[in-house]
Amino acid sequence: MHFKLSDSGKDKKLTRIIDIQTNEQNSLTRGTLLELKAILDDTLKDEKYASLLFTSTNPKFFSNGLDAGNVLSTPDDKLVEEVGEIVLFFDHLLRFDKPVITEVTGYAMGGGAVITVGSDYKYMIDGKARISFSEVLVGLPLPGTFIDKIARTVLPPYVNEVCAGANYKGQEAKGIGMIDEVAADAEGLRKLSLKKIDYLNRIPLSALRRTKQAINAPILERFEAGLKHTHESFTTEIIVKNFRESMKALSEKRRPQYLD
């Protein structure tokens, strides 16, 4: 398992806690995302769980996005499947209709930002943590569903900036609406999470679930069109070459040399 699972709470309204522990940088692969999807499915079906909490005890990374080494070893004919899994996972996360809380305990880049913005309540350590939709910085166009959710989350003047890979500290992310609240440390984050969970547990879960379904419905209705556009992007020659170069440069610790 790449995710340590534990429970918080009592009686019939437990919170399932997912501690991301994939590797040193908490990077993601298609395999780990499929594993995570299975955990979401199990949590959704199990009536004792009323909410879900993402966190990480990694001292630096909440999740650093796609695993560069894994991408480099993926053949071209499997690249769309490997890289595109994060888009399918995001759809899965938005369809998970129980409340989701995320504690951004460190760097949340690419896939880490995706998990965060796909959550309902978002708390972040101020100081050492960073958050960025860094996809375009490695040559990948941002998928439409990501953009739709960003546009419904951050303040309108900052949508383009966020989509262009801007990097934010905790207070900065809070200032534009990407994060709900910040704390000085992991203990402070957990206090914020537990306070929110205590409030949510006073509300009938059936009402929360149907409300969340309505909130995310406009984004999910556009999912298939967005998926088609993403597939076209991930199979465009110059985009694939630029992405390959960025992953190679990352592994070699140098600046990428893009084609355009």
- Is residue 238's pLDDT more than 90? yes
Mean pLDDT of 84-103: 97
Q: Rounded to two decimals, what is the model's pTM?
A: 0.96
> How many structural domains is the chain composed of?
1
For the chain, how many residues are written?
A: 260
**134 falls in which pLDDT band (50, 70, 90)?**
very high
What's the chain's average pLDDT? 95
In tens, the pLDDT along 10-43 reads 878 999 999 999 999 999 999 999 999 999 999 9
Q: Is residue 102 part of a domain?
A: yes
Distance CA 157, CA 252 (A): 36
Angle at which helix 205-221 crosses helix 223-234, to 10 degrees, equals 50
Question: What are the Cα distances from residue 66, in Å, to 63, 136, 260?
Answer: 9, 13, 22
Report if residue 233 sits inside a domain: no
Query: Identity (one letter) of the amino acid at 67?
Result: D
Residue 143's domain is classified under what CATH number? 3.90.226.10
Residue 171 domain boundaries? 3-186
Mean pLDDT over 7-11 rounds to: 89
HEC states along the chain?
CCEEEEEEEECCEEEEEEEECCCCCCCECHHHHHHHHHHHHHHHHCCCEEEEEEECCCCCEEECCECHHHHHCCCHHHHHHHHHHHHHHHHHHHHCCCCEEEEECCEEECHHHHHHHCCCEEEEECCCCEEECHHHHHCCCCCHHHHHHHHCCCCHHHHHHHHCCCCECHHHHHHCCCCCEEECCHHHHHHHHHHHHHHHCCCCHHHHHHHHHHHHHHHHHCHHHHHHHHHHHHCCHHHHHHHHHHHHHHHHCCCCCCCC
Decide if 111 is inside a domain: yes
Least confident interval from 98-112, 179-193, 235-249:
235-249
pLDDT at residue 69 in the model = 84
Confidence label for 210 from pLDDT (cuts 50, 70 and 90): very high
Write out pLDDT tens, residues 41-56: 999 999 999 999 999 9
Determine the pLDDT at residue 12: 82
Report whether pLDDT(1) > 80: no
Residue at 215 is within a domain: no
**pLDDT band at 72, cuts 50/70/90?**
confident
pLDDT confidence of residue 251? 85
* Domain assignment present for 194: no
Structural domain includes residue 88: yes
Please indicate, yes or no, if residue 20 is contained in any of the structural domains.
yes
